[in-house]
Amino acid sequence: MDSIFKLSNVLVLPLWALVILLPRWRWTARIMRSPMVSAVPAGLYAALVLPRLGQIWPAVSSPTLSGIAALLGSPVGATIAWAHFLAFDLFVGRWTYLDSQERRISPWLMAPVLFLTLMLGPAGLLSYLLLRSLVAFSAAQTSAPLQVLGNKERTMKSSAGTTQTRGRMGEALRDLFRRAFAANQALTILGGVMLITFFATLVGIFVDHRVITGAPAWLKPAKFAISVMFIASPLSGCSGLSRIALAWFASWAMSQS
């Protein structure tokens, strides 16, 4: 089981490295567009589960806390659960990456989101949904003046295609940064510093394989950096219920560090 556990990591980590470190590389997009990237860890999971279906099915069909604890409390059960996590986290990460590429969201914003999805799947998905909403709102605010243009101007704008869409997204991101900076300069700068720190620790995770107390040596600094970034940057440009929701999420992320 130890060999299978290690193999499961080898199957997915190169794919995560592509979407986080090389998101604009043409081969990254080609590879991630294939649904087979999610099928590989899913196939490993199926290969582990099907021979043991008679033991697993009673526990999952009528789940109890003690039954699930007993199921996962063995090397076989833990390996199966880990393969389950890897398969679905990669599925979510693939969708997140492709959706962000379609929406022209900056890779600098997506790298910490994808890393969080790799580490803590549902938390990464939640962070992307929040980011997606913020970027969409900012883009709508930026493109609102286009609605008053005449038919001729609107036709000319739409014919610009992908280049113009990318320009509007860039302007939306700059506007988002300007509003955040105007609201709270210190928090915005802190968020930027933590983003740079996160990238430095991300490199450390991939090149330095030392383990401290059972976890990669650079994992703790990476979690701390991304937690502080989620506290600082979004809160500087939000208000009302959005600020409360982000504050709750950020405090939870910090507690995981």
Q: How far is Cα 6 from Cα 82, in angstroms, rounded to an integer?
A: 10
Assess contact for 189 and 223: CB atoms under 8 A. no
* Tally of CB atoms within 10 A around 33: 13
Per-residue pLDDT, 255:
53
Cα angle vertex 87, ends 59, 199, to 5°?
A: 130
Count of helices and strands (H, E) across the chain: 13, 2
CB 100 within 8 A of CB 110: yes
93: pLDDT strictly greater than 90: yes
Q: How confident is the model at residue 148 (pLDDT cuts 50, 70, 90)?
A: very low
Give the gyration radius of the chain's Cα atoms: 21
Q: Beta partners for 211?
A: 216
Sign of CA dihedral 234, 136, 21, 12: positive
Amino acid in the structure at residue 218:
W
Ramachandran angles phi, psi of 212, nearest 5° = -125, 120
Dihedral in degrees, nearest 10, Cα atoms 129, 245, 168, 185? -140
Distance between CA atoms of residues 86 and 16, nearest Å: 11
Query: Which of 147, 142, 118 minimizes the C-alpha distance to 219?
Result: 118
Question: Which range, of 65-74, 97-106, 238-247, averages the lowest pLDDT?
Answer: 238-247
The pLDDT value given to residue 171: 64
For residue 50 the two structure tokens come to 């099907």
- The residue with greater pLDDT, 251 or 229, is 229
| Residues of the chain above pLDDT 90, percent | 9
Percent of the chain exceeding pLDDT 70 equals 68
Contact 187, 236 (CB under 8 A): yes
For residue 149, pLDDT beyond 50: no
Mean pLDDT, rounded, for 86-94: 92
CA dist., res. 200 & res. 210, Å (int): 16
The model's pLDDT over 29-46, given as tens digits with 9 standing for 90+, comes to 999 998 888 888 888 889
Beta carbons of 214 and 194 less than 8 angstroms apart: no
Q: How far is CA 46 from the centre of its chain?
A: 25
Q: How many CB atoms lie within 10 A of CB 160?
A: 12
**Residue 239 pLDDT class (50, 70, 90 cuts):** very low
E strands along the chain, which residues? Answer: 211-212, 215-216
| Range picked from 74-88, 158-172, 237-251 for highest mean pLDDT | 74-88
